[in-house]
Amino acid sequence: MPFDINARIEAWRTHLLDTTKRNRLINFKVGRTGGLRLAHPDPDDLWHRLVTNSTALSFVWKRELIDLPTEPEGAAGGKSEACFETPNPREEETIGDIRERCRHSAHFRPDHLLTDLSDSKLAASLTRLARNSHESLTEQGVAVLNVAFGFLRWFESPDSQAELRSPLLLVPVRLERDSIAAPWKLL
């Protein structure tokens, strides 16, 4: 029986790298089971602080910057934030208004990170990301938490309507906090 080296290499390649849409490097999603979209700072400033200066940044609680109504119980377990979905215009105005009020707060600092998530959803997302990152590092020795800079938008075929997004540049980071009530720091 002859040995087919090309078939063997192809078999190894398919087992080595997941090229399906389950792979987040091929099909990145933002939301409950995916990543987190940063609304502030802009990518240039984020790159300068994280990569050039190796500066820690903090996820600030919006309730510490501005007066917000109390979130209802169980708000973190509500509807997931879908990848790049456009919220209805009324929600977008509210999210944008809150973000701008936070940016103009006297308590807002240049090292603060802002997202469009409520404080409870942000806390849940960051806890999940930190836990998954820690598990992957301890169990498999692989650091999986990164900040992505730039995305390639593509379609599987010319007639496909489903847009896929793949991150272009990844910077490895860590999430840490001093106590359970303290804000998360991105290092």
Write the DSSP assignment of 163-181 as a string of letters.
-EEEEEEEEE--EE-SSTT
Residue 116 lies in a domain: yes
pLDDT tens for residues 48-87? 999 999 999 999 988 888 887 666 555 444 444 444 444 4
Residue 75 lies in a domain: yes
Rounded CA separation 153/151 (Å): 6
- Taking 50 as the pLDDT cut, the residues of the chain under it are 75-87, 89-90
* pTM for this entry: 0.75
Residue 76 lies in a domain: yes
pLDDT for 73: 53
Residue 8 lies in a domain: no
Rounded CA separation 153/160 (Å): 13
Residue 71 lies in a domain: yes
pLDDT for 111: 93
Residue 40 lies in a domain: yes
Provide φ and ψ at 115, rounded to 5°: -125, 175
Residue 2 corresponds to which tokens in the numbers above?
Answer: 């002859």
Rounded CA separation 133/127 (Å): 10
What is the tally of structural domains in the chain? 1
Residue 17 lies in a domain: no
Q: Which domain holds residue 159?
A: 36-186
Residue 104 lies in a domain: yes
